[in-house]
Amino acid sequence: MAWFPGARKLEVQPESDTQSVIRPTQLILHSLAAPWNVDQTYNYWKNSTNLESHFAVAYDGDLGQFIGTQTRADANYQANLRPDGTGAVSCESEANVHNTDPWTQAQMNSLIRLGVWLHKEHDIPLRVCRSWTDPGYGYHRMFPQWALGGSTFCPGDARAAQFHNIVFPGIVSAANGDPLPQHRGEHNATNVAMKSGTWKTLEFESKAIATGAGIYDVMVNLTLEGLAPGATVQGRFYHLNGKDRTYGPIIERFASDGQTFADFNKCGQMGSGDTLHFQLAAWNKDGAPFTVAYRVVEGLGWAL
């Protein structure tokens, strides 16, 4: 019996002691069609049904394990235990009642950690299952043999797409030792009064866009009001270290009729004492003041 050290152990009995031994060769992902955390899911498996999955992950990333991974669980129909002794490890996930919402970032992070552990612990190969018996990673509706009655919507369209675009590639890159980027988005809807022709550093929710040694790829999007059509808008990122500033290139945009929507992008690398900032200037007709009405920064960072 194998228990993932990264999950909370909530053993479901008597199933955990009485069900057959399997040799785990697959991970199959599910959605629960219920907004249940790990403890609620455990209570349901324990008290209300003799079905169960090996794992469940809540919206906040909390991961629970109910059955050892070398014991059969019941979520995958014919893949629970095949005649050759192999079987699938199953993971349920908190969802809305229609199984239409995407996994949260915290859920995907936990699914990736689970996928990496299964690769290391049980040698599950780093590929998407090519048939219902093929060792690898998949989700419930991929093969009719995995679902009672031959078909299911589980885990939903949004999560099936996330499996292919984020979760499975994340398992592969993490298992190979590549660092995963962290995503961050910050916005600020408080108006900032701007003087024409004067650079001003914009804060978002935090004082700095990023802090410390790492690689970043960020985009700032601004909504500007009060600029005459054709006015020049400039933005630049800079690294701050003590009092030293290292400026990136100036990026130039032009104001349009009504609100102006301007975007500024930069990739770069920072050292341990650096913070990343963005500043803006615009040259308005007759030197009139203008307003930053909305600002958002979004990006990926790899800590070094």
Q: Both tokens of residue 175?
A: 């298992």
Query: At closest approach, how far in Å is the CB of 209 from Zn ion?
Result: 40
**Residues in contact with Zn ion, shown as a per-residue x/- string from 18 to 57 under the rule CB under 5 A:** ------------x---------------------------
Is residue 259 exposed (0-12), middle (13-18) or buried (19+ Cβ within 10 Å)? middle
CA-wise closest residue to 38 among 62, 14, 60, 13? 62
Task: Label residue 57 exposed, middle or buried (CB < 10 Å: 0-12, 13-18, 19+).
Answer: buried
What is the closest distance, in whole angstroms, from the C-beta atom of residue 143 to Zn ion in the complex? 12
Nearest distance, CB of residue 53 and Zn ion, angstroms: 8
**Which residue, among 121, 297, 279, has the nearest Cα to 194 in the 3D structure?**
279
- Give the residue with the Cβ less far from Zn ion, 25 or 53: 53
AA letter at 223: T
Residue number, 22 or 202, with CB nearest to Zn ion: 22
- List 89, 142, 154, 224, residue binding Zn ion (CB under 5 A): 154
AA letter at 198: T
φ and ψ at residue 75, rounded to 5 degrees: -90, -10
Is the CB of 140 or the CB of 266 nearer to Zn ion?
140
Least Å distance between CB 277 and Zn ion? 46
Query: CB of 79: closest distance to Zn ion in angstroms?
Result: 11
Q: Which two tokens stand for residue 230?
A: 């054709």
H or E stretch covering 118: helix 105-122
Q: Which stretch binds Zn ion (CB under 5 A): 2-10, 54-62, 99-107, 132-140?
A: 132-140
237/199 Cα distance (integer angstroms): 12
> Which of 7-15, 123-131, 154-162, 203-211 is the region at the interface with Zn ion (rule: CB under 5 A)?
154-162
Output 30 or 239, the one with its CB closest to Zn ion: 30
- Binding string to Zn ion for residues 177 to 216, with x set by CB under 5 A, is what? ----------------------------------------
| Closest distance of CB 55 from Zn ion, Å | 13
- State yes or no: residue 140 binds Zn ion (CB under 5 A): yes
**Residue with tokens 């920064």, as numbered in its chain:** 297
For Zn ion, how many residues bind (rule: CB under 5 A)? 3
Residue with smaller CB distance to Zn ion, 132 or 216:
132
Nearer to Zn ion, 159 or 236 (CB): 159
| CB nearer to Zn ion: pick between 154 and 282 | 154
The one-character DSSP state at 187 is E
Q: Residue 256 CB, nearest distance to Zn ion (Å)?
A: 49
**CA–CA distances in Å: residue 274 to residues 58, 191, 208:** 35, 27, 10
Distance CA 292, CA 193 (A): 7
**Residue 111 phi, psi (nearest 5):** -60, -35
Q: Is 277 in the site for Zn ion (CB under 5 A)?
A: no
Shortest distance (Å) from residue 141 CB to Zn ion? 8
> What pairs with residue 88 in β-bridges?
26
Q: Which residues contact 103 (CB under 8 A, 6 or more apart)?
A: 93, 111, 158, 159, 162, 167
Q: Which residue lies nearer to Zn ion by CB, 67 or 154? A: 154
Residues found near Zn ion in the complex (CB under 5 A): 30, 140, 154
